[in-house]
Chain A
């Protein structure tokens, strides 16, 4: 059994920097706290976001990956988010998109609601779950330099690939603002330009 209390953990910023340095024309689906940080680090017309349907990032990305087999799709998922749709590991492994990179930010807490612990926080291991589901590659990193050294080889190989990144909780409490009546939801604004860019 994995002992998450003993693992090394990197900062979220350092983890995302490794990915941002490799950003080219991949479609990237972000979610939860990592999404805001990612959009700042890598603003791009191919950024999608899972906002308002926690847990759906990986399967939204799967749909894009299956529709665009010649383009790489990255999903930057959260551990709490993936917990909500764990069956998606089986769905993704079954569909077997070779162009699919599934990053799981493992900080062990629900950061946006005040860093309450994840169920099975001390031992849950998404890389082992993905391996059991049938992903082509699964690996974990707690050190940003090790991740940086290994990522190019992982990206060059066929997916689906799951990379579990152990990060430190940073207590980025999220306070939702009221949505003005009649306003267009975020997802409805975000995806049409991406679809246009993919034509």
Chain B
């Protein structure tokens, strides 16, 4: 099955529907259209970080203070944030939901068959870290967004959502 582009307004509606108050981000080219909408959104606050490691710790701090954050990063940032995913999100038992863009993925292939190591190794890395993930391969998959927050709360740990192709 070919991955379908998710319209930015639909993804933002799903984020809003999940009760997200803060999006903690390092910009992802793949989700550029969503970022454009978030920048203008008056209800959801965006917090811009220099690195994805920082985004994990900021998200944890927000949760301690009673907020409901979501991280938004690119697959390269997943690799960059492994130490804090382990030391903060996993060891600290923080229910952090990560929205990760699979930039450059061939929409005709499963991510594990992709020619790019950044795409191909993403789910195996998450499995190694014992972080559940759900692929958003089109608008029909957006129900995973709210469910990811329930899952994160139930397991007291992070859950990843992978944006399968560039948002429109």
Contact = CB atoms under 8 A, between A and B. Distances in A.
Contacts of A95: 47-48
A134 interface: no
A53 B83 contact: yes
A49 to B, nearest CB: 11
Contacts of B56: 56
A195 B56 CA distance: 17
Nearest to B47: A95
B116 interface: no
Interface stretch (A2-10, A34-42, A166-174, A185-193): A185-193
A164 to B, nearest CB: 20
B51 A87 contact: yes
Contacts of A85: 51, 53-54
A66 B69 CA distance: 11
Interface magnitude class on chain B: 20 to 34
B61 interface: yes
Contacts of A198: 64-66
A68 interface: yes
Interface residues of A, number: 30
B22 interface: yes
A196 to B, nearest CB: 10
Contact of A59 (B22, B58, B64, B87): B58
Interface stretch (B88-96, B100-108, B132-140): B88-96
A90 interface: yes
Interface in A152-199: 185, 187-188, 191, 194-195, 198-199
Contacts of A130: none
Nearest to A90: B50
A67 B88 contact: no
B62 A63 contact: yes
Contacts of B88: 53, 56, 60, 187
Contacts of B66: 67-68, 195, 198-199
Contacts, number: 110
A62 interface: yes
A97 to B, nearest CB: 10
Nearest to B22: A66
Nearest to A51: B87
Nearest to B61: A63
A12 B23 CA distance: 37
A28 B92 CA distance: 17
A160 B64 CA distance: 20
Given A56-B84, A60-B88, A91 B65 contact: no
Contacts of B91: 52-53, 185, 187-188
Interface string B33-56: 000000000000101111101111
Given A56-B88, A64-B61, 10 more contacts: A48-B64, A56-B57, A68-B66, A87-B51, A88-B50, A90-B50, A187-B87, A191-B94, A194-B64, A198-B64
6 contacts: A59-B55, A61-B61, A62-B61, A66-B22, A67-B67, A68-B66
10 shortest interchain CB distances as A-B pairs:
A63-B61, A67-B65, A87-B50, A53-B87, A185-B91, A59-B57, A187-B92, A56-B57, A63-B58, A63-B62
